[in-house]
Every structure is written in C-alpha cells, then in structure tokens.
Amino acid sequence: MTKPLNLTEKILLDHLVGGDRLPPAGEPITIRIDEAFTQDATGTMCMLQLEAMGVKRVKTFSVNFVDHSMMQVGFRNPDDHRYLESVSKKLGIVYSPPGTGICHFLNIENFVKPGTTGVGADSHTVNAGGMGALYFGAGGYDVALAMATGNYTLPMPKVVRVELVGSLRPGVMAMDVILKMLDTVGVKGGKGIIFEYGGPGAATLTLNERATITNMGAEMGATTSIFPSDEQTLKYLESRRRPDDYRPLAADDGAGYADVIEIDLSSLQPSIAIYPSPGNVEPIAEHVGEKIDQVCVGSCTNSSFFNIASFAEMLRGKRVAVETLLYPGSRAVELQLAEAGYLTSLLYSGVRVMESGCGACIGQGGSPPSKGVSLRTFNRNFPKRSGTPDAQVHLVSPMVAAASALTGRITLPEQQVEIREVPQVDDMAAFVYPPDQAEAETVEVVRGPNIMALPDFDPLPGRIEAEVLLKLGDDISTDDIQPAGVYLPLRSNVKEYAMQATFRPVDETFSERAVAVRDAGGMGAIVGGENYGQGSSREHAALCPRWLGIRTVIVKQFARIHVANLVNFGIVPLTFADPADYDRIAQGDHIAIDVSDLEGDLVLEVNGERIPLQPAFEAKDIPVLKAGGALPYFKQTHRG
C-alpha cells in the first residue's frame, strides 16, 4: 500500500522538478509554478530585474496587479503604472489596472485553481491557500526568476495539521480564527511551516472565510497555509462562473504531520490584536468601552462581499459615530454591494467608501489623527505603518468594526446578521491581456523619469570590515527597515528610496551615516534580535540597505522571505551561534568577518573578542553571495 499523503505533499509531488521524492524539512526543493504575480509596489523592481535578465517572454502564467500605490499625487505613480502596463504587454503578462482590486482578492476571484502552485511578490500571496492551492510570498527577484524559468526553490517546510471542529457562533468571524492561531503560535511560530487546515470545522467555512485565515498565516511567519478543496470550493467557483476549475482535494486518511493543533470553532470569541503587533491577541471583552477615533474596513484579509455586507447590515439605518473608511476587495465586490443596495446604505450611514485597493493598510491615505486609535480589519498593526507615528492600530473582525463604528468605542457585536445575497459580478473585462509574441516585440516600454536603472553591485570581498551602524531589538519588521506609506512612490528609484526612508522609523540619521561610511570606502553592518525582517516581502528592505553600503546583517533569527532577499542583494545574513553574544556588540563597534570561505566556520572579530556565527544562508546561496547578489550571479551564469 502506498504511504498516505497530506495535501501539501500531494501538490508538491505533483509539481516537483527533478526526482520523485520530497527532500527532508529544511533542504531546498524546486517546484513548477503555475502562476507568478506582482503588485505595483514590488512589480516595477521585479520587472526591471526581468528585463535585466534578458527575458523576452515569461514562461509561466503571470499577472502584474496595481493596487498599492494609487494616490497619483504627481507623476511617479502614474509613470510606474504606465511602465507596468507596457512592460506587461512586452513580456506576455496580464495587467490589472488600478481600481480593479487588491491583488490577492482578485487572484482568488479570477485566477487561482485548486491543486496549483503560485509565487507572488507580496507576503500575503498565501491568501490563495483558501482555494486549496500552494502559494508562496517571495521577493521580486525570486518572482522574476519564477516568471523566467517557471520554477521556484524554497526550503522544504514541515507540515502542521490544524484540526478544526465545531462551527463559529454568531458574532464570531474567520478573523477570530486566525487571531486564535496567532495567539497560539505567535508571530514567529510559523517559520518553516505549512499549516494544513482540515476537519469537520473546516467544512463549515466558506472559501472567503478560509482565505481570511490563510492570508494571516503571513503574520505567523508561516511558509504558507492551505485548506482542502471541497463542496465549499465548488460553491465559490460556481458563483464565480468557473465550475470547470474545480477539483476535489484532501489529505489521505492517516497522513503524517509534524504536529497537530486543534481548534474548536464553537469555543471562539471575538478577539482583538492590540497595537503594535498582530500577535498581541486578547478577547474583545477585555477592551469593551475603550474610545476609538477611526474604523477602517477592507484589506486583502477582510474585504469579501460577505464581510462588507455583514458590516453594512449592522450599520443599516444608523449613522457611524467616528470616521469610518471602507476599502472593498475588488470592483466586482463594489458592484455586488451596489446591486444588493449596500453601497447606498453605507453612504447613508456616513461611511467613506474608498476605491478598492490597499489604501490605508499600506499608509496610502486614511491615516488616523495624532495619538489616535484606529480599529482595522487589516492584518498588520506595526508601529508607524498607518502613517501617524503616535497612533495606535488594533486589528478586529468586520462585525467588531461595525459595532464599534456605531458607538465610537470598542463594542462587542451582539446581533445575528442576515445578509442580502445577490449573484457575484464578473469584472474580467478589466484585465489587459498581452498580445501575441510577434506583436509584443513591437511594444515600446515606457519609462518615466523616476524609474531609475538598477544599480550594479560589486562581488563580495574576502573580508567584511564594517561599522555596526545600527543595533536593533526583536521583531524588527520590513516597515521599520524600509517603510511604505508616503515613500511608496519611490519604489522604482533606489537612490531616493534609500536616502529618504531606510530605517527612518527607528533612526532618522541612518541613511546619511551609512552613505558617509560607504563614500569613505567603508562598509556597514546591522545587528538585530529575533524575527528580524518580519512582515512584508518587499525586497527594497535588502536592496536599499545594500545600496547604502550594508554588507552583513547579524541577528538572533531571521524571517523567511527577508533572508532570501538579503541573499539576492548580496548582503551576508548571519546569526549568532549563541544568542547571548548579541550583548557583546554595541552600535558603533568595528567588526571584521573573514568571508573568503563561506562554507567554513564564520567568526566575528570585535573589540579583541571572537564570536562564533552561523550562516543564515544555504549552500546554494554561496555563489550568489560571492557574485554580489542574484542578478550579477544570473548574468555570470547565463553569459551568451
């Protein structure tokens, strides 16, 4: 009898490149990728790299979505959009114009199919796991490579089963399930893990509810999460008029898992993730009555028709007591809300109905006032991400958001809501499909003045002699390293983005200090604690520090996507062999590391002491690091 397989193993085996066995956890695995995509904030850099690789046409189905940077204050955003549209046509990529919707939401509505694989230049690509597909977030270079080759390599994850039993009580939503997971596992507890949901409770959750849960797997640092493909999946695909994309998929009985977590859905209560971390989960009941200044509903986590209709139904005939902003997941959802009469009732309730897109989630407008408290149905509440340095953001479900918007205080949703169902809407006409190759060759790629050519990076020297330019604590997010918000229009301009934004939330003097050291012929190093680089997949959090002369980052532990980005830009990622050695280094220290043999023991010399280090890179990364990064390595190995 063949060994029973879990769902992850089935899909990985089905997509394995080379061999017929899965490697042990932690070893690299290369799989075939059915879809690769970007969003505009990562897409321009990904496309510049794809062009620099000399790629004429992508090998896998690919999409460039525009959803993050859409304020169009000045020429930078619209120039980026025009570049993305023209380069998409040239390289054979589908283009999703601004206003169509949020990448992950559109992806699941229109493109993701059960049993497939995908990689996207955004950490919440894992949202697609709700469809029974294995999708991974990655840096722009890795997505460019997937587009160019059709393959993606990642460390083989462990698979943990999440057994769901029972069903959600009224007033409790999918958001409360993932907050329970975050409470159980923590913000770094998912590292190296795929969470495979199943059990009788899973069968009670709709596809959109499942996607809310897989979406925030990113906040646990998980490689990805997945649900089975079953009746709920079929129901959803039928409602999207895509029944032919359905295929049933589940783990075999008796399949093996590294661990099992059990959650009884009926025992859950409405919860809240208290500022400044998605991992600070507490029962709402402990915060009832606290004053709030703003409510925001939407984001790739909670912007389905069901979510917004539940929110709208609770508000119907009443008026919000605080500023309330709504960002629907897609234009199709907006149209459906209009058909059901909810758009009208929301407007009567005083809700500011914004364009569908990331909006306030990525600090593109909708900032709370100074010292304000904002209640959001989003997935991240990292410091300063909202754009207001001293504001606090807490994360909640759409029903808690509705109850609280009506009172101006944190409020428990009590009523049962019945929503008005109307058929889903098709907005496929919004997508721009690329022409055939012959016509594509005649397309001119349009570059505005803000789109800077990619910088050239030199190979790794034999010895890193660097000044520790920053010493940081635990849980430094990519929003701390390379903030988005008002800086988003600089994503195509490495120099400006690095000079204006790198590490600005933690130290405003960083960029000037780093450039001074670099221009004097020196190198820079960063020292940090646990879970360094958590959050977004933005490769700028490696690219900009590299441009500023950083050659190594030494921490207690890295987040998965960020460490891959550091390698891709030739920054040597290292961890302390003994985390206690973190205390032996101070900001301003001069350190030296012999990196001539990256396979050997690595030792950090500081203040006459020798501190043993461990590589956070894999053996396959060594030639990449030596070449100075992935693009120089690609060019070396693909010459002629």
Q: Given the rule CB under 6 A, which residues bind ligand SF4?
A: 68, 102, 122, 124, 299-300, 358, 361-362, 378-379
Choices 186-194, 237-245, 271-279, 536-544 (CB under 6 A): range interacting with ligand MIC = 536-544
Choices 76-84, 116-124, 158-166, 593-601 (CB under 6 A): range interacting with ligand MIC = 116-124
484 binds ligand MIC (CB under 6 A): yes
- Cβ proximity to ligand MIC: between 229 and 301 the closer is 301
- Cβ proximity to ligand SF4: between 47 and 484 the closer is 484
- Cβ proximity to ligand MIC: between 62 and 424 the closer is 62
- Cβ proximity to ligand MIC: between 42 and 303 the closer is 42
Cα torsion at 483, 485, 486, 488 (round to 10°)?
80
Choices 235-243, 261-269, 420-428, 534-542 (CB under 6 A): range interacting with ligand MIC = 534-542
- Cβ proximity to ligand SF4: between 300 and 396 the closer is 300
- Rounded to the nearest whole angstrom, what is the least distance from the CB of residue 525 to ligand SF4 in the complex? 29
- Cβ proximity to ligand SF4: between 218 and 494 the closer is 218
Do 62 and 89 form a contact (C-beta atoms < 8 A)?
no
493 binds ligand MIC (CB under 6 A): no
Cα-based distances in Å from 289 to 303, 349, 370, 380, 605: 26, 21, 20, 23, 54
DSSP letters spanning 538-607: -THHHHHHHHTTEEEEEES-B-HHHHHHHHHTT-EEEEESSGGGGGG--TT-EEEEE-S-TTS-EEEEET
**CA pair distance 494, 197, nearest whole angstrom:** 40
- Rounded to the nearest whole angstrom, what is the least distance from the CB of residue 484 to ligand SF4 in the complex? 7
- Cβ proximity to ligand MIC: between 360 and 400 the closer is 360
Choices 393-401, 420-428, 533-541, 614-622 (CB under 6 A): range interacting with ligand MIC = 533-541
Residues in region 378-397 near ligand MIC by CB under 6 A: 380
Q: Which positions from 62 to 91 touch ligand MIC by CB under 6 A, shown as an x/- string? A: ------x-----------------------
Q: Which residues lie closer than 8 Å to 436 by C-beta, 6 or more apart?
A: none
Tokens of 11: 């899909």
559 binds ligand MIC (CB under 6 A): no
494 binds ligand MIC (CB under 6 A): no
- Cβ proximity to ligand MIC: between 395 and 484 the closer is 484
- Rounded to the nearest whole angstrom, what is the least distance from the CB of residue 479 to ligand MIC in the complex? 7
124 binds ligand MIC (CB under 6 A): yes
- Rounded to the nearest whole angstrom, what is the least distance from the CB of residue 366 to ligand MIC in the complex? 14
**Nearest alpha-carbon partner for 116 in 36, 24, 23, 232:** 36
Q: Angle CA(626)–CA(631)–CA(637) in degrees, nearest 5?
A: 70
Q: Which residues lie closer than 8 Å to 545 by C-beta, 6 or more apart?
A: 481, 482, 498, 502, 503, 514, 524, 526, 553, 571
At 299, the amino acid letter reads: S
Of the residues 15, 34, 35, 42, which one makes contact with ligand MIC according to CB under 6 A: 42
Size of the site for ligand MIC (CB under 6 A): 14
Q: With CB cut-offs between 5 and 8 Å by kind, which of ligand MIC, ligand SF4, none does residue 191 bind? A: none
**CA pair distance 343, 521, nearest whole angstrom:** 59
Query: How much helix, strand and coil, in percent to the nearest 5, is found in the chain?
Result: 35, 20, 45
**CA pair distance 15, 323, nearest whole angstrom:** 48
- Rounded to the nearest whole angstrom, what is the least distance from the CB of residue 69 to ligand SF4 in the complex? 10
- Rounded to the nearest whole angstrom, what is the least distance from the CB of residue 44 to ligand MIC in the complex? 10
Choices 119-127, 143-151, 438-446, 598-606 (CB under 6 A): range interacting with ligand MIC = 119-127
Choices 120-128, 402-410, 570-578, 629-637 (CB under 6 A): range interacting with ligand MIC = 120-128
- Rounded to the nearest whole angstrom, what is the least distance from the CB of residue 539 to ligand MIC in the complex? 9
- Rounded to the nearest whole angstrom, what is the least distance from the CB of residue 193 to ligand MIC in the complex? 18
- Cβ proximity to ligand SF4: between 8 and 123 the closer is 123
Tokens of 200: 């009788």
Q: With CB cut-offs between 5 and 8 Å by kind, which of ligand MIC, ligand SF4, none does residue 102 bind? A: ligand SF4
- Cβ proximity to ligand MIC: between 485 and 628 the closer is 485
Q: What is the largest distance, in Å, between two alpha-carbon atoms of the chain?
A: 72
Residue 399, SS3 per DSSP: helix
**CA pair distance 325, 568, nearest whole angstrom:** 38
- Rounded to the nearest whole angstrom, what is the least distance from the CB of residue 561 to ligand SF4 in the complex? 13
Strand (E) or helix (H) holding 272: strand 271-273
Do 125 and 137 form a contact (C-beta atoms < 8 A)?
yes
- Rounded to the nearest whole angstrom, what is the least distance from the CB of residue 287 to ligand SF4 in the complex? 23
Q: With CB cut-offs between 5 and 8 Å by kind, which of ligand SF4, ligand MIC, none does residue 299 bind? A: ligand SF4
Q: With CB cut-offs between 5 and 8 Å by kind, which of ligand MIC, ligand SF4, none does residue 42 bind? A: ligand MIC
Q: With CB cut-offs between 5 and 8 Å by kind, which of ligand SF4, ligand MIC, none does residue 626 bind? A: none
Strand (E) or helix (H) holding 63: strand 61-65
Of the residues 531, 536, 565, 568, which one makes contact with ligand MIC according to CB under 6 A: 536
Strand order in the sheet with 35-39: 94-96, 61-65, 35-39, 117-120, 134-137
Of the residues 362, 403, 481, 574, which one makes contact with ligand MIC according to CB under 6 A: 362
- Rounded to the nearest whole angstrom, what is the least distance from the CB of residue 536 to ligand MIC in the complex? 3
**CA pair distance 549, 523, nearest whole angstrom:** 5
**CA pair distance 144, 52, nearest whole angstrom:** 10
**CA pair distance 249, 121, nearest whole angstrom:** 26
- Rounded to the nearest whole angstrom, what is the least distance from the CB of residue 218 to ligand SF4 in the complex? 8
Tokens of 108: 């699941």
- Rounded to the nearest whole angstrom, what is the least distance from the CB of residue 67 to ligand SF4 in the complex? 6
Give me the residues paired with residue 613 across strands: 576, 602
Classify burial at 317, counting beta carbons within 10 Å of its beta carbon; exposed 0-12, middle 13-18, buried 19 or more.
Answer: exposed
Q: Angle CA(305)–CA(217)–CA(145) in degrees, nearest 5?
A: 100
At 33, the amino acid letter reads: I
- Cβ proximity to ligand MIC: between 349 and 493 the closer is 493
Residue 498: what are its φ and ψ, rounded to 5°? -70, -45
- Rounded to the nearest whole angstrom, what is the least distance from the CB of residue 78 to ligand MIC in the complex? 18
Binding site for ligand MIC (CB under 6 A): 41-42, 68, 122-124, 137, 362, 380, 484, 535-538
